[in-house]
Amino acid sequence: MTPRGSILSTADTRRPAVAAAALREFARGGYHGTTVADVAREAKISPAYVFKLFPRKEALFAAAVESCFDAVVQALDEGTTDIDSTDPLVILDRMGAAYAALISDRALLMLQVHAQSVAGIPEIGEALRAGLARVTEFAKERSVGSDEDVQRFMAYGQLCHLIVTAGIADSSASWAQLLSHGIRHPD
């Protein structure tokens, strides 16, 4: 007979791996186009076990959103670890470069886009707002920038999402050039 503590420990160990699988699957198919069975297949476990770990699809998607923002904050942190400047704009620019490199993995980008599209689902909207709060607060604390500087940083992040998802950088149209001017993304 297995002691109850080891069952909980196994479940706690599996949650991050299942959340990572959920991130990949929901990024591909969105909330409505992805089933719990899809996530289970990606995680190489049964759908019943996914439901044991996350009792509702909303909770599973919210866990994927949390995992996504964990990666975002970690990238922003790593992007500013060895910076010599104390200038808030230089620090925020470094964060922006780290974020641009991070979203070259479109899974993180697409999960955020999908989360925005279903933010009206209370549990998902709450996870999205919590993630945005973490990024905003981290940017403010690390950069010591003004509220306007941090707002601009967040706004440029959303513009980057639009440029990447809509393929605006690939367009030579004047409106596309206007939107993407000065914004760089790793290939």
pLDDT in tens, 111-125: 999 999 999 999 999
One-letter amino acid for residue 52 of the chain: K
Using alpha carbons, select from 102, 109, 105 the residue that is nearest to residue 79.
102
Predicted local distance difference test score (pLDDT) of residue 1: 47
| pLDDT-above-90 percentage for the chain | 80
Query: Domain map of the chain by residue range?
Result: 57-180
What are the tens digits of pLDDT across the range 143-175? 999 999 999 999 999 998 899 889 898 899 999
The architecture of the domain spanning 57-180 is: Orthogonal Bundle (1.10)
Q: What is the pLDDT of residues 26-75, one digit of tens each?
A: 999 999 999 999 999 999 999 999 999 999 999 999 999 999 999 999 99
**What number is the average pLDDT over the span 9-27?**
92
